[in-house]
Amino acid sequence: MKNKIIQQFFFSLITISALITALFLLIIIFFIFKNGFNAISWEFITSVPKNGMTAGGVSPAIIGSFCLVAAAILFSLPLGLACAVYLQEYSPKNYIVDIVKTGVSNLASVPSVVFGLFGLAVFVKFFGFGVSILSGGLTLAILVLPNIITTSQEALSAVPYSFREASLALGATQWQTIRKVVLPAALPGILTGIILSIGRAAGETAPIMFTAAVFYKKGRPDSIMSEVMALPYHIYALMTEGVNPEKQTVIAYGCALILLVLVAVLSSLAVFIRNKYRSSYER
Amino acid sequence: MSDEIKIKVSNLNFYYGKMQALKNINIDIMDKKITALIGPSGCGKSTLIRIFNRMCDLVIGAKAEGSVIFDGENILNSSIDIVKLRQKIGMVFQKPNPFPKTIFQNIAYGLEINGCKDKSFIKFKVEETLKKAALWEDVKDRLNDSALGLSGGQQQRLCIARALAVEAQVILFDEPCASLDPISTAKIEELILELQNNYAIIIVTHNMQQASRVSDYTAFMYLGDLIEFGSTNQIFTVPKNPKTEEYLSGKFG
Ligand SMILES: Nc1ncnc2c1ncn2[C@@H]1O[C@H](COP(=O)(O)OP(=O)(O)OP(=O)(O)O)[C@@H](O)[C@H]1O
Ligand SMILES: [Mg+2]
């Protein structure tokens, strides 16, 4: 009897904790919606800022964020995937593997502002790429690299060994096996990683602060060497600069809402793909 | 009836690192016959058949000594073309392991990795091998469905068809019915008996009835030694070695 009560108590506690967590999320979503919803309009999404950022839209920031994220994925995907394949499929048991593994997990815990400083020193200054999509994209690429590597590695290791065995026993080389059997089977998992990385890259401010983003830029970026506006940085700018905080705050919440919806859509997509992938292996 | 030796194993020793898994094995595998490998768990049956297609290479620290002559060559030589070897000596595993691809692609895979681009030839081969594996009638209307949707027994026959498609001459079966129900098992056995007309077949099994039902020759292994090898009839009726008799009568294993 006593044990039953204790169990009841702790179960309730656990349930409440879970609910509180969900509640936080709901509250955040509610507030962003409440404050940002009025700002959203077709014009807001498609036109440029006006009157010193107190009116008009945020389209350059949306386009800029899109370019940065695209560049980040373009750079990090081949590198991250190659690294995951090396670690999961080829890695001989030697010290290089340990170094790479330690490197990857440490990279994941570096604060994002440090990546920003690194990008400034290396891409902007040392390589002379300047404040540009290229510099920002590369910096974001390093930021999401551990993410891509870890999720890809998990996806690869989830591919049953028996598939590899079957392929090798048919005379396929290890490379053919990886390319034609293992990678296709791991693709949904890898896609999940990419999608989550997109969400992460889209939302970060610090890494692009010194490397790619500017307060205001009219028109579209014309090359990968252009500086751009970006949604998260635009929020930061609206809240810290300018002359009309009231009007700017509304626009900032509008931007936040766009970001939130974007990330939510991407995450759901990732979950959807992952679930579909799980069921495809059930026998 | 030919009595041709397909694989000749002489003085074969095999090591996983320091552990010796096979001790001085001598055995002749006959063409167009079925050879059963029996013995208690861990005696080295899988190890032996994995030497025939060099899948044992995948284990780090594995080392083989002696000679395994197939097609006039010692396949233990490092100079051997493993791709060719594995196509000539196909393998069917304990758990059916079709690729997560369509039924058609599962068969086509072995041809494609070998550079075959002739679509009509691949189509022809898919049909031919599925018929040989007694699966054609079951799947001819759903070649483009996922192979994972097939039943366990059908998947296993697909795996057999996959091995046949690359012109195998020898087929290694490592407990092919271990995860199947009795009806699927009967179908696989029927198929194996059918296949022996054109292939040399080696089957590892823990099922004594199965060994006696399908095989022409039986090899009994124990702790890495080949204790006794002879016609299945003889082994099951008048085993020469007392160990064999003990095992067959269920005293251990
Ligand atoms: N990859 C490996 N590394 C080290 N030792 C191994 C490896 N595979 C098998 N062994 C050992 O070699 C011996 C023979 O194993 P093997 O798998 O050939 O036995 P088996 O007769 O097929 O057994 P079972 O009937 O259980 O499948 C066993 O002692 C086993 O522990
Ligand atoms: Mg075995």
3-class secondary structure per residue, chain A: CHHHHHHHHHHHHHHHHHHHHHHHHHHHHHHHHHHHHHHCCHHHHHCCEECCCCEECCHHHHHHHHHHHHHHHHHHHHHHHHHHHHHHHHCCCCHHHHHHHHHHHHHHCCCHHHHHHHHHHHHHHHCCCCCCHHHHHHHHHHHHHHHHHHHHHHHHHCCCHHHHHHHHHCCCCHHHHHHHHHHHHHHHHHHHHHHHHHHHHHHCCHHHHCCCECCCCCCCCCCCCCCECCHHHHHHHHHHCCCCHHHHHHHHHHHHHHHHHHHHHHHHHHHHHHHHHHHHHCC
**Same structural domain for residues A173 and A243?**
yes
- Calculate the alpha carbon distances from A12 to A9, A26, A79, B38 in Å: 5, 21, 46, 56
Q: Are residues A131 and A47 in the same domain?
A: yes
Contact list in A for residue B57 (CB cut-off 8 A) is none
CA–CA distance, B122 with B244 (Å, rounded to integer)? 46
Q: A30 and A67 share a domain?
A: no
pLDDT at A273: 81
CA distance A224 to A32: 32
On average, the pLDDT of chain A sits at 89
| Count of structural domains within chain A | 2
B59 in contact with A, Cβ within 8 Å = no
Average pLDDT over residues B32-61: 94
The whole-number average pLDDT for the span B91-106 is 95
* Residue A47 pLDDT greater than 90, yes or no: no
Residues A220, A98, single domain; the answer is yes
Cβ(A229)–Cβ(A62) under 8 Å?
Answer: no
Quick check: A256 pLDDT over 60?
Answer: yes
In chain B, which residue's Cα lies nearest the Cα of A178? B113
Q: How far apart are CA A103 and CA B180, in angstroms?
A: 46
Nearest to A197 by CA among A270, A132, A133, A138: A270
Q: Where are the alpha helices (DSSP H) in chain B?
A: 45-52, 82-88, 103-112, 119-132, 136-139, 152-165, 182-195, 208-214, 232-237, 242-248
Contacts of B84 in chain A (CB under 8 A): 171
Beta-carbon neighbour count of residue A188 at 10 Å? 19
Q: Are residues A35 and A138 in the same domain?
A: no
Q: Residue B205: CB partners within 8 Å, gap ≥ 6?
A: B36, B37, B38, B173, B175, B177, B211
**Residue A220: domain span:** 40-282
Both tokens of A205, joined, read 């401010």
Yes or no, beta carbons of B113 and A181 under 8 Å apart: no
CA of B151 to the centre of ligand 1 (A): 28
Q: Are strands B89-92 and B170-174 parallel, antiparallel or unpaired?
A: parallel
CA dist list (Å): A146 to A104, A159, A271, B105: 5, 20, 19, 34
Q: What is the pLDDT of residue A220?
A: 81
* Over residues B232-250, mean pLDDT: 93
Residue with tokens 């030589």: B77
B112 to chain A: which residues are within 8 Å by CB? 180
Instruction: State mean pLDDT over A120-136.
Output: 95
Candidate of B14, B15, B19 to mutate for ligand 1, largest count of ligand atoms within 8 Å of Cβ? B19
pLDDT at residue number A279:
56
Confidence of residue A192 (pLDDT cuts 50, 70, 90): confident
Report the candidate in A64, A62, A78 with the shortest Cα–Cα distance to residue A254: A62
The verdict on a CB contact (< 8 Å) between A162 and B93 is yes
Residue A118 pLDDT greater than 50, yes or no: yes
Instruction: Specify the pLDDT at position A272.
Output: 85
ipTM value greater than 0.85: yes
Contact predicate A72/A137, CB 8 Å? yes
CB A72 within 8 A of CB A141: yes
CB–CB contact B90 A169 (8 Å): yes
Burial class (CB in 10 A: 0-12, 13-18, 19+), A269: middle
pLDDT of A283 above 60? no
Ligand closest to B61 (CA) is 1
Looking at residue A166, its pLDDT comes to 95
Ligand nearest to the CA of B41: 1
Residue A234, strand partner residues? none
Question: Cβ separation of B113 and A185 shorter than 8 Å?
Answer: no
Q: Is B80 on the interface with A (CB under 8 A)?
A: no
Say if residue A256 is in the same domain as residue A243. Answer: yes
* Interface subset of A 78-137, CB within 8 angstroms of B: 93
Dist CA A79 CA A72 (whole Å): 11
Mean model confidence pLDDT for chain B:
93
**How many CA atoms within 13 Å lie on the side-chain side of B85?**
24
User: What are the structure tokens assigned to B165, written together?
Assistant: 């498609």
d(CA A35, CA A136): 29
Task: For chain B, report the end-to-end CA distance as a whole number of angstroms.
Answer: 35
Pocket test for ligand 1, best of B47, B91, B179 (most atoms within 8 A of CB): B47
Q: Does A162 lie at the interface with B, CB-CB under 8 angstroms?
A: yes
Give B-chain residues touching A185 at CB under 8 angstroms: 99-100
Residues A226 and A164 in one domain: yes
Residue bearing tokens 């044990």: A3
Q: What's the whole-number mean pLDDT along residues A207-218?
A: 88
* A170 closest CB neighbour out of B58, B60, B109: B109
Query: Are A51 and A58 within 8 A, CB to CB?
Result: no
Question: CA nearest A187 in B: which residue?
Answer: B100
Q: From the CA of B47, how far away is ligand 1's center (Å)?
A: 6
The amino acid at residue A90 is: Y
Q: Is B176 helix (H, G, I), strand (E, B) or coil?
A: coil
* C-alpha distances in Å from residue B167, one per residue of A49, A173, B164: 69, 18, 6
> pTM of this prediction?
0.84
In this structure, are A17 and A155 located in the same domain? no
What does R_g of chain A's alpha carbons equal in angstroms? 23
| Cβ–ligand 1 contact at B197 (below 6 Å) | no
Size of interface A-B (CB pairs under 8 A): 72
Q: What is the pLDDT of residue A168?
A: 95
Distance B48 CA to ligand 2 centre (A): 9
Confidence grade of residue B253 (pLDDT, cut at 50, 70, 90): low
For residue A243, with 0-12 CB atoms within 10 Å meaning exposed, 13-18 middle and 19 or more buried, which class applies? exposed
**Residue B37 in contact with ligand 1 by CB distance below 6 A:** no
Q: Encoding tokens for residue A258?
A: 């766009």
Span from the CA of A175 to the centroid of ligand 2 (angstroms): 27
Let me know whether A5 and A144 are in one domain.
no
B147 DSSP assignment: G
* pLDDT reported for residue A282: 44
Helix (H/G/I), strand (E/B), else coil: B169? coil
Q: Are residues A68 and A207 in the same domain?
A: yes
Q: Are residues A3 and A126 in the same domain?
A: no
Residues B5-248: name the CATH superfamily: P-loop containing nucleotide triphosphate hydrolases (3.40.50.300)
pLDDT for the residue numbered A125: 95
Q: Are A210 and A255 in the same domain?
A: yes
The two tokens of residue A113 are 């502002």
Do residues A201 and A266 touch, judged by C-beta distance below 8 A? Answer: no
Question: Which ligand 1 atom is the nearest neighbour of the CA of B48?
Answer: 18
In CATH, what number is assigned to the domain containing residue A272? Answer: 1.10.3720.10
Question: Which has more pLDDT, B42 or A57?
Answer: B42
Residue in chain A nearest B100 by alpha carbon: A185
Residue B252: pLDDT band by 50, 70, 90 thresholds?
A: confident
